[in-house]
């Protein structure tokens, strides 16, 4: 086998195994009147700032009064990871943020 091919293959294997995994940001938010211990959530945002902005956009866009972000964290890539950090309690999701717009839903946001 050609030595250049072996070197190129080795380099590609090293690059593939050393590339960082993508880690999203998530935030939990609350608003006036939300039952104690329940949070609205955002997950898989590319940055903390975008997660905070999305949380406020979803909360305010849903017509909730007194919206505020409780906390944010990195490595929150899925709804399950976000729910583990910021539980929903018995609340039922009524709105999702899709393509930057707040949309009503009768099922879980994915």
Tell me the mean pLDDT per 10 residues along the chain, length 110.
Answer: 41 42 87 87 94 92 91 94 88 68 65
- Answer whether residue 12 is part of any domain: no
3-state secondary structure of 15: helix
Cα distances from 59 to residues 38, 39, 87, 109, in angstroms, run 13, 10, 16, 14
- Answer whether residue 16 is part of any domain: no
- Answer whether residue 6 is part of any domain: no
- Answer whether residue 110 is part of any domain: no
Alpha carbon of residue 2 to chain centroid = 46
The pLDDT value recorded for residue 93 is 65
DSSP 8-class letter at 1:
-
DSSP 8-class letter at 2:
-
The pLDDT value recorded for residue 107 is 57
Name 60's Cβ contacts closer than 8 Å, sequence gap at least 6: 67
- Number of domains comprising the chain: 1
- Answer whether residue 99 is part of any domain: yes
- Answer whether residue 17 is part of any domain: no
- Answer whether residue 73 is part of any domain: yes
Question: Could you tell me the pTM of the whole model?
Answer: 0.70
The pLDDT value recorded for residue 88 is 81
DSSP 8-class letter at 69:
E
Domain containing 45 equals 22-104
- Answer whether residue 84 is part of any domain: yes
The pLDDT value recorded for residue 99 is 66
């Amino acid at each position: 086998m050609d030595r250049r091919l072996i070197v190129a293959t080795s380099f590609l294997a090293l690059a593939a195994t050393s590339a960082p995994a993508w880690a999203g940001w998530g935030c939990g938010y609350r608003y006036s009147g939300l039952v104690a211990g329940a949070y609205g959530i955002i997950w898989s945002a590319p940055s903390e700032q975008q997660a905070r902005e999305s949380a406020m956009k979803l909360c305010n866009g849903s017509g909730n009064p007194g919206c505020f972000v409780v906390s944010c964290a990195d490595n929150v890539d899925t709804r399950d990871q976000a729910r583990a950090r910021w539980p929903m309690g018995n609340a039922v999701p009524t709105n999702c943020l899709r393509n930057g717009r707040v949309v009503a839903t009768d099922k879980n946001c994915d």
